[in-house]
Amino acid sequence: MGMTRALRAARQELDDAGLRGSILVRDLDSGDELGVDAELEWPIASLVKVPLVVATLERVGRGELDPATPITVRPGAIATPGPIGVAKFRYPATIALDDLLYLSIAISDSSAADALFALTPPAAVSAELRRLGYDGIAVRHLMDDLTHTPAEAFEQAQAYLAHTLAIEAATAGHGHPVPQLDVGSANTGSARAFADLLQGLWRPTTITEPAAARTRELMADNVIRHRLAPDFSSDASRWSSKTGSLLNFRHEVGVVEHADGQTLAVAALTQSRVPAVLQPGAEAIMAKAARIIHNELRIRP
Protein backbone atom coordinates (compact mmCIF):
# COMPACT_ATOMS: atom_id res chain seq x y z
CA MET A 1 0.00 0.00 0.00
CA GLY A 2 2.87 2.37 0.79
CA MET A 3 3.55 4.05 4.13
CA THR A 4 1.74 7.33 3.43
CA ARG A 5 -1.33 5.61 2.01
CA ALA A 6 -1.41 3.12 4.89
CA LEU A 7 -1.38 5.86 7.52
CA ARG A 8 -4.01 7.83 5.60
CA ALA A 9 -6.18 4.72 5.33
CA ALA A 10 -5.89 4.01 9.06
CA ARG A 11 -6.85 7.58 9.93
CA GLN A 12 -9.83 7.41 7.56
CA GLU A 13 -11.05 4.15 9.06
CA LEU A 14 -10.99 5.65 12.55
CA ASP A 15 -12.72 8.85 11.46
CA ASP A 16 -15.44 7.01 9.55
CA ALA A 17 -16.22 5.01 12.70
CA GLY A 18 -16.49 8.14 14.83
CA LEU A 19 -13.15 7.56 16.48
CA ARG A 20 -10.16 9.73 17.26
CA GLY A 21 -7.08 7.72 18.04
CA SER A 22 -3.39 7.10 18.41
CA ILE A 23 -1.81 3.96 16.99
CA LEU A 24 1.81 2.89 17.01
CA VAL A 25 3.26 -0.38 15.70
CA ARG A 26 6.95 -1.14 16.34
CA ASP A 27 9.21 -3.98 15.30
CA LEU A 28 10.84 -4.88 18.61
CA ASP A 29 14.08 -6.06 17.00
CA SER A 30 14.72 -3.61 14.17
CA GLY A 31 13.16 -0.62 15.91
CA ASP A 32 11.20 0.29 12.76
CA GLU A 33 7.84 1.81 13.57
CA LEU A 34 4.78 3.40 12.00
CA GLY A 35 1.98 5.26 13.68
CA VAL A 36 -0.55 8.06 13.83
CA ASP A 37 -0.55 10.68 16.60
CA ALA A 38 1.58 8.40 18.78
CA GLU A 39 2.62 11.20 21.14
CA LEU A 40 -0.88 12.22 22.23
CA GLU A 41 -1.55 11.78 25.95
CA TRP A 42 -4.67 9.84 26.96
CA PRO A 43 -6.50 8.77 30.12
CA ILE A 44 -5.48 5.10 30.16
CA ALA A 45 -8.13 3.40 32.35
CA SER A 46 -7.16 -0.25 32.97
CA LEU A 47 -3.96 -0.04 30.93
CA VAL A 48 -2.44 1.23 34.18
CA LYS A 49 -2.55 -2.33 35.49
CA VAL A 50 0.46 -3.23 33.35
CA PRO A 51 2.86 -0.77 35.06
CA LEU A 52 1.26 -1.71 38.41
CA VAL A 53 2.12 -5.37 37.81
CA VAL A 54 5.65 -4.49 36.65
CA ALA A 55 6.27 -2.39 39.78
CA THR A 56 4.89 -5.14 42.02
CA LEU A 57 7.05 -7.81 40.38
CA GLU A 58 10.15 -5.64 40.64
CA ARG A 59 9.50 -5.40 44.38
CA VAL A 60 9.02 -9.17 44.53
CA GLY A 61 12.39 -9.58 42.84
CA ARG A 62 14.04 -7.36 45.47
CA GLY A 63 12.49 -9.41 48.27
CA GLU A 64 10.22 -6.58 49.44
CA LEU A 65 7.07 -8.58 48.67
CA ASP A 66 6.30 -12.31 48.78
CA PRO A 67 4.14 -13.58 45.91
CA ALA A 68 2.59 -16.18 48.23
CA THR A 69 1.37 -13.60 50.77
CA PRO A 70 -2.37 -14.09 51.42
CA ILE A 71 -4.32 -10.84 51.09
CA THR A 72 -7.92 -10.39 52.16
CA VAL A 73 -9.88 -8.44 49.58
CA ARG A 74 -13.18 -6.88 50.49
CA PRO A 75 -16.09 -7.32 48.06
CA GLY A 76 -16.71 -4.39 45.79
CA ALA A 77 -20.49 -4.25 46.35
CA ILE A 78 -20.87 -2.74 42.86
CA ALA A 79 -24.23 -3.34 41.23
CA THR A 80 -23.74 -1.40 37.99
CA PRO A 81 -22.74 -3.31 34.83
CA GLY A 82 -19.08 -3.33 33.89
CA PRO A 83 -16.79 -4.30 36.77
CA ILE A 84 -15.88 -7.98 37.04
CA GLY A 85 -14.06 -10.26 39.45
CA VAL A 86 -13.76 -9.40 43.13
CA ALA A 87 -15.85 -6.26 42.60
CA LYS A 88 -18.84 -8.57 42.14
CA PHE A 89 -18.07 -10.78 45.15
CA ARG A 90 -20.52 -10.75 48.06
CA TYR A 91 -18.05 -11.78 50.75
CA PRO A 92 -14.38 -11.10 51.57
CA ALA A 93 -11.90 -13.36 49.82
CA THR A 94 -8.32 -14.27 50.71
CA ILE A 95 -6.13 -14.34 47.59
CA ALA A 96 -2.36 -14.76 47.19
CA LEU A 97 -0.49 -11.72 45.88
CA ASP A 98 0.60 -13.54 42.71
CA ASP A 99 -3.00 -14.55 42.01
CA LEU A 100 -4.03 -10.89 42.36
CA LEU A 101 -1.53 -10.15 39.57
CA TYR A 102 -3.28 -12.73 37.39
CA LEU A 103 -6.75 -11.37 38.12
CA SER A 104 -5.63 -7.79 37.45
CA ILE A 105 -4.30 -8.55 33.97
CA ALA A 106 -6.15 -11.64 32.71
CA ILE A 107 -9.69 -10.48 33.55
CA SER A 108 -8.92 -6.81 34.34
CA ASP A 109 -10.16 -7.13 37.93
CA SER A 110 -9.97 -3.61 39.35
CA SER A 111 -10.57 -4.65 42.97
CA ALA A 112 -7.62 -7.03 42.69
CA ALA A 113 -5.56 -4.18 41.25
CA ASP A 114 -6.48 -1.89 44.14
CA ALA A 115 -5.36 -4.59 46.59
CA LEU A 116 -1.98 -4.39 44.83
CA PHE A 117 -2.06 -0.58 44.93
CA ALA A 118 -2.50 -0.85 48.71
CA LEU A 119 0.98 -2.42 48.77
CA THR A 120 2.53 -0.19 46.07
CA PRO A 121 0.57 3.09 45.88
CA PRO A 122 0.27 5.09 42.64
CA ALA A 123 3.16 7.42 43.54
CA ALA A 124 5.39 4.41 44.22
CA VAL A 125 4.42 2.83 40.88
CA SER A 126 5.32 6.07 39.12
CA ALA A 127 8.63 6.18 40.96
CA GLU A 128 9.37 2.60 39.93
CA LEU A 129 8.63 3.45 36.30
CA ARG A 130 11.02 6.42 36.50
CA ARG A 131 13.71 4.19 38.07
CA LEU A 132 13.33 1.77 35.16
CA GLY A 133 13.56 4.60 32.62
CA TYR A 134 9.91 4.93 31.55
CA ASP A 135 8.80 8.55 31.79
CA GLY A 136 5.71 8.65 29.58
CA ILE A 137 3.16 7.01 31.89
CA ALA A 138 1.68 8.88 34.87
CA VAL A 139 0.06 6.86 37.67
CA ARG A 140 -1.99 9.10 39.95
CA HIS A 141 -5.04 7.30 41.31
CA LEU A 142 -6.62 3.97 42.25
CA MET A 143 -8.88 1.89 40.04
CA ASP A 144 -11.79 2.57 42.41
CA ASP A 145 -11.81 6.15 41.16
CA LEU A 146 -12.98 4.82 37.79
CA THR A 147 -16.22 3.62 39.41
CA HIS A 148 -17.17 7.20 40.36
CA THR A 149 -17.92 8.79 37.00
CA PRO A 150 -21.17 10.13 35.48
CA ALA A 151 -21.87 6.58 34.22
CA GLU A 152 -22.85 5.56 37.77
CA ALA A 153 -25.37 8.41 38.03
CA PHE A 154 -27.70 7.12 35.31
CA GLU A 155 -29.92 4.09 34.87
CA GLN A 156 -28.67 1.70 32.20
CA ALA A 157 -31.23 2.96 29.68
CA GLN A 158 -29.83 6.48 30.08
CA ALA A 159 -26.14 5.56 30.11
CA TYR A 160 -25.70 7.30 26.76
CA LEU A 161 -26.08 10.59 28.65
CA ALA A 162 -22.83 9.94 30.50
CA HIS A 163 -21.13 9.34 27.16
CA THR A 164 -22.62 12.54 25.79
CA LEU A 165 -21.10 14.45 28.72
CA ALA A 166 -17.75 12.71 28.22
CA ILE A 167 -17.73 13.71 24.56
CA GLU A 168 -19.06 17.25 24.74
CA ALA A 169 -17.33 18.50 27.89
CA ALA A 170 -13.76 17.85 26.76
CA THR A 171 -11.58 20.89 26.12
CA ALA A 172 -9.20 21.45 23.22
CA GLY A 173 -6.29 20.98 25.62
CA HIS A 174 -7.58 17.56 26.74
CA GLY A 175 -8.91 18.90 30.01
CA HIS A 176 -12.24 17.63 31.33
CA PRO A 177 -14.64 18.33 34.23
CA VAL A 178 -14.66 14.56 34.86
CA PRO A 179 -11.27 14.16 36.59
CA GLN A 180 -10.81 10.58 35.40
CA LEU A 181 -10.84 11.95 31.82
CA ASP A 182 -8.63 14.99 32.47
CA VAL A 183 -5.02 14.39 31.43
CA GLY A 184 -3.89 16.64 34.28
CA SER A 185 -5.38 14.42 36.98
CA ALA A 186 -6.01 11.00 35.45
CA ASN A 187 -3.68 8.06 34.97
CA THR A 188 -2.24 8.89 31.54
CA GLY A 189 0.04 7.65 28.82
CA SER A 190 0.59 7.68 25.07
CA ALA A 191 0.81 5.02 22.40
CA ARG A 192 4.57 5.63 22.28
CA ALA A 193 4.94 5.31 26.05
CA PHE A 194 3.19 1.95 26.03
CA ALA A 195 5.17 0.74 23.02
CA ASP A 196 8.29 1.63 25.01
CA LEU A 197 7.03 -0.36 28.00
CA LEU A 198 6.15 -3.34 25.79
CA GLN A 199 9.64 -3.14 24.29
CA GLY A 200 11.05 -3.32 27.81
CA LEU A 201 8.94 -6.35 28.65
CA TRP A 202 9.69 -8.37 25.51
CA ARG A 203 13.30 -7.21 25.16
CA PRO A 204 14.28 -6.45 28.78
CA THR A 205 17.10 -4.07 29.59
CA THR A 206 16.18 -2.32 32.85
CA ILE A 207 13.18 -4.47 33.82
CA THR A 208 14.46 -7.68 35.39
CA GLU A 209 13.96 -10.81 33.30
CA PRO A 210 11.79 -12.61 35.93
CA ALA A 211 9.46 -9.59 36.20
CA ALA A 212 9.31 -9.20 32.41
CA ALA A 213 8.69 -12.92 31.86
CA ARG A 214 5.85 -13.07 34.40
CA THR A 215 4.21 -9.97 32.92
CA ARG A 216 4.43 -11.46 29.42
CA GLU A 217 2.84 -14.64 30.72
CA LEU A 218 0.00 -12.73 32.34
CA MET A 219 -0.66 -10.67 29.22
CA ALA A 220 -0.78 -13.87 27.14
CA ASP A 221 -3.51 -15.09 29.53
CA ASN A 222 -5.73 -12.06 28.84
CA VAL A 223 -9.28 -13.36 28.31
CA ILE A 224 -10.66 -10.05 26.94
CA ARG A 225 -10.23 -10.75 23.26
CA HIS A 226 -12.97 -8.89 21.39
CA ARG A 227 -10.97 -5.79 20.45
CA LEU A 228 -7.62 -6.23 18.69
CA ALA A 229 -7.26 -9.97 19.23
CA PRO A 230 -9.46 -11.05 16.28
CA ASP A 231 -7.05 -9.30 13.90
CA PHE A 232 -3.82 -10.39 15.57
CA SER A 233 -4.45 -13.93 16.81
CA SER A 234 -3.99 -16.93 14.53
CA ASP A 235 -2.38 -20.36 14.37
CA ALA A 236 0.71 -18.55 13.09
CA SER A 237 0.85 -15.74 15.66
CA ARG A 238 0.59 -15.23 19.42
CA TRP A 239 -1.20 -12.16 20.77
CA SER A 240 -0.56 -10.94 24.34
CA SER A 241 -2.28 -7.77 25.50
CA LYS A 242 -4.13 -5.58 27.98
CA THR A 243 -7.26 -3.56 27.30
CA GLY A 244 -8.52 -0.37 28.90
CA SER A 245 -12.05 1.08 28.77
CA LEU A 246 -13.75 4.06 30.38
CA LEU A 247 -16.84 5.82 29.06
CA ASN A 248 -16.01 6.74 25.44
CA PHE A 249 -12.37 5.61 25.63
CA ARG A 250 -11.32 2.20 24.26
CA HIS A 251 -7.70 1.10 24.31
CA GLU A 252 -5.57 -1.97 23.83
CA VAL A 253 -1.81 -2.50 23.87
CA GLY A 254 -0.09 -5.77 23.07
CA VAL A 255 2.54 -7.72 21.24
CA VAL A 256 2.08 -10.05 18.27
CA GLU A 257 4.75 -12.74 17.92
CA HIS A 258 4.73 -14.22 14.43
CA ALA A 259 5.80 -17.77 13.69
CA ASP A 260 8.60 -16.48 11.44
CA GLY A 261 10.15 -14.72 14.44
CA GLN A 262 9.09 -11.14 13.79
CA THR A 263 7.69 -9.53 16.93
CA LEU A 264 5.72 -6.28 16.85
CA ALA A 265 4.29 -4.11 19.60
CA VAL A 266 0.88 -2.60 18.87
CA ALA A 267 -0.60 0.27 20.91
CA ALA A 268 -4.06 1.61 20.02
CA LEU A 269 -5.71 4.27 22.18
CA THR A 270 -9.03 5.70 20.99
CA GLN A 271 -11.85 8.02 21.90
CA SER A 272 -15.33 7.79 20.39
CA ARG A 273 -17.52 10.75 19.50
CA VAL A 274 -20.60 8.50 19.36
CA PRO A 275 -22.65 8.60 22.61
CA ALA A 276 -23.34 4.87 22.91
CA VAL A 277 -22.22 2.36 25.52
CA LEU A 278 -21.89 -0.64 23.21
CA GLN A 279 -20.02 -0.04 19.97
CA PRO A 280 -18.86 -3.36 18.51
CA GLY A 281 -18.24 -1.63 15.20
CA ALA A 282 -15.76 0.74 16.84
CA GLU A 283 -13.95 -2.23 18.39
CA ALA A 284 -13.63 -3.83 14.97
CA ILE A 285 -12.44 -0.63 13.30
CA MET A 286 -9.79 -0.10 15.97
CA ALA A 287 -8.41 -3.50 15.05
CA LYS A 288 -8.70 -2.85 11.31
CA ALA A 289 -6.82 0.45 11.54
CA ALA A 290 -4.08 -1.12 13.68
CA ARG A 291 -3.84 -4.03 11.28
CA ILE A 292 -3.42 -1.73 8.27
CA ILE A 293 -0.39 -0.12 9.94
CA HIS A 294 0.93 -3.49 11.14
CA ASN A 295 0.72 -4.97 7.65
CA GLU A 296 2.57 -2.06 6.11
CA LEU A 297 5.36 -2.32 8.67
CA ARG A 298 5.54 -6.09 8.40
CA ILE A 299 6.18 -6.11 4.66
CA ARG A 300 8.75 -3.29 4.71
CA PRO A 301 12.32 -4.51 4.00
User: Which of 64, 224, 49, 60 has the alpha carbon at shortest distance from 142?
Assistant: 49
Q: Which DSSP letter does residue 255 get?
A: E
DSSP H or E run through 293:
helix 280-299
Q: What is the secondary structure of 65-112 as a DSSP string?
A: S-TT-EEEE------SSS--GGGG-SS-EEEEHHHHHHHHHHS--HHH
Ranges assigned E (strand) in the chain = 19-27, 33-36, 42-43, 70-73, 93-96, 188-189, 237-246, 249-258, 263-272
Distance CA 20, CA 29 (A): 29
Would you tell me how many other CB atoms lie within 10 Å of the CB of residue 185? Answer: 17
Pairing of strands 93-96, 263-272: unpaired
Task: Report the C-alpha gap between 6 and 9 in whole angstroms.
Answer: 5
Q: Is the dihedral of CA 40, 41, 45, 46 positive or negative?
A: positive
> What is the pTM for the complete model shown?
0.89
Model pLDDT, residue 174: 58
Ramachandran bin of 219, using left for φ above 0, alpha for ψ from -120 to 50, beta for the remaining angles: alpha
Which residues touch 66 (CB under 8 Å, ≥6 apart)? 60, 97
If the chain, 301 residues long, is cut into consecutive pieces of 10 residues, what is the mean pLDDT of each piece?
A: 90 94 97 96 95 98 98 70 75 95 95 94 97 97 70 50 52 59 83 98 98 98 95 95 90 97 97 76 94 90 54
